[in-house]
Amino acid sequence: MKLTKDQINDIKEQQSQDNKTKRVTAPELEKILYEALPALDHGFIRVIDYMGDDSSIVQSARVSYGKGTKQVSTDSGLIKYLMRHWHSTPFEMCEIKYHVKLPIFIARQWIRHRTANVNEYSARYSILDKEFYLPEPENLAAQSIANRQGRGDVIEGEQAKEVLELLKNDAERTYHNYETMLNQKYDGTTIDESKKGLARELARMNLTLNTYTQWYWKTDLLNLMNFLRLRADHHAQYEIRVYADIMLNTLKRWVPITYDAFMDYRVGGTEVSAKGKIIIQKLLKGEDVNIDNSGLSKREWNELMEAFEIKDKIV
């Protein structure tokens, strides 16, 4: 992770503030406010601002005054009820804003979650940093045969070295060409006084997708949980999962009661179809049920068996 001198100074200045407020605060989240939490080789996540806490959800659900119920156990019961029964609106009352530095190809995947306010570093106005994401060898994997979106076995040995060299050389070569077209180095110095630089909005199109970008990403608690439910899952792409895992920890610091309910009902829980419910009921009664008489496809059947860890029934 690399921070510019200006960013380091900004963080120190932000963390040195001693402001008083009448609004609710999350003490554990306050401890890491503005801090750059490392992600991948050059990336980071910073919590820039937030609004509300667990009591804000309770207050919204009851439309009451003040901080809501004083007893944590009562608040916990209500939040679990809301989570269990998919009453989503109270969770929208809390918001959080992140500063994220990430590779462009992950940013393009991330932006598919269209429920946030995003302001990205503009390569039309500024020169992108000379930083590229290069995977660790253990994260170099072949294409999965079974899953078009996933990874298969890890690539090792000489082939792994060759892939890493290709990624590094391509990134460095295109960045060199980027500087040449701009007629500027990434530190702002001019390369050739006799030449005009190409417009930044045009020169940027030559860069590789592992180049780092940055953005501010603001969302409400409900949509943050929707994001994390998908991106912190083991099926998600490794690179975006790294960021999601860090954000999951900030969720725990921010709204610990909601975090526990989220991990229980959304992350650790499972959804069952009407047919799936009938199959589980029959299995509990000791009846003979198999894929042929279940009415489910092979994928549906295996997903159901995996969810309930009935390994001897997986086909």
DSSP symbols for 201-243: HHHGGGS-TTBEEEEEEEEEHHHHHHHHHHHSSTTS-HHHHHH
Q: How far is CA 165 from the centre of its chain?
A: 28
Residue 97 bridge partners (DSSP): 49, 218
pLDDT in tens, 174-230: 999 999 999 998 888 999 999 999 999 999 999 999 999 999 999 999 999 999 999
What is the pLDDT averaged over residues 24-32?
95
pLDDT recorded at residue 17: 86
Which has the closest alpha carbon to 224: 197, 253, 195?
253
- As a whole number of Å, the end-to-end CA separation of the chain is 44
Three-class DSSP category at 120: strand
To 10 degrees, what angle do helices 274-284 and 298-307 make? 60
Residues in the chain: 315
Q: Are strands 117-120 and 151-154 parallel, antiparallel or unpaired?
A: unpaired
Query: For residues 296 and 307, what is the distance between their CA atoms, to the nearest angstrom?
Result: 15
Answer yes or no: pTM beyond 0.85: yes
pLDDT in tens, 99-139: 999 999 999 999 999 999 999 999 998 999 999 999 998 88
Query: For residues 47 and 118, what is the distance between their CA atoms, to the nearest angstrom?
Result: 14
Please give the DSSP secondary-structure letter assigned to residue 3: -
Residue 50 has pLDDT above 90, yes or no: yes
Please spell the DSSP secondary structure of 12-80, one letter per residue: HHHHT-----SS---HHHHTTTT--EEETTTEEEEEEEEE--HHHHHHHHHT-STT--S-HHHHHHHHH
In this structure, of 26-35, 147-156, 200-209, 272-281, the range with the lowest mean pLDDT score is: 147-156
Strands across the sheet containing 95-103: 37-39, 43-51, 95-103, 212-220, 117-120
Residue 140 — pLDDT band, cuts 50, 70, 90? Answer: confident
Residue 276 bridge partners (DSSP): none
pLDDT recorded at residue 6: 83
Residue 216 bridge partners (DSSP): 99, 119
Please spell the DSSP secondary structure of 154-175, one letter per residue: EP-HHHHHHHHHHHHHHHHHHH
Query: For residues 46 and 42, what is the distance between their CA atoms, to the nearest angstrom?
Result: 13
Please give the DSSP secondary-structure letter assigned to residue 249: H
Determine how many CB atoms are found less than 10 A away from the CB of residue 255: 28
pLDDT recorded at residue 142: 78
Q: In Å, how far are 13, 161, 211 from 6, measured between CA atoms? A: 10, 36, 21
Please give the DSSP secondary-structure letter assigned to residue 124: T
**Options 231, 241, 253, 299, the catalytic residue:** 231
Active-site residue flag, 231 = yes
pLDDT recorded at residue 235: 86
Three-class DSSP category at 102: strand
Query: For residues 238 and 138, what is the distance between their CA atoms, to the nearest angstrom?
Result: 11
